[in-house]
Amino acid sequence: MDKVSRKRLKQELREQQRRAALRALPLAIPELEAMFDMLNVELPLHGCDHSRRLTQSWLLRRGHDVEAVFAWLDEHGGYCDCEVLANVEQHFNEARATSRTAPD
């Protein structure tokens, strides 16, 4: 296989992985963005106590399935509110950024 073909296959595989990541999201994209925005505002005010109390409270107020969202957060290293921002938001943004620029 030549270099161009290998590069194309790698790009296709990465795009498939990103699409799968987007399909696996536990909430709609605008809701996840709102959750990350809330944490960006609330964490500096309240700090992280090594739990997901801010995330849980927000999810409950909005009527979301906390267990399903927490399972997804666990998969991406979001074991407390600050890790949700540090790890999960990055994963989410990477998946979204490429999906916006990639052809369907």
Cβ atoms of residues 85 and 1 within 8 Å: no
The CA R_g of the chain, rounded to the nearest whole Å, is 16
At a CB cut-off of 8 Å and minimum separation 6, what does 56 contact?
A: 66, 70
- Name the pTM for this structure: 0.81
41's tokens: 């505002």
Cβ atoms of residues 28 and 60 within 8 Å: no
Cβ atoms of residues 60 and 66 within 8 Å: yes
Please tell me the predicted confidence (pLDDT) of residue 17.
83
Q: Give 59-72 pLDDT, tens digit per residue.
A: 999 999 999 999 99
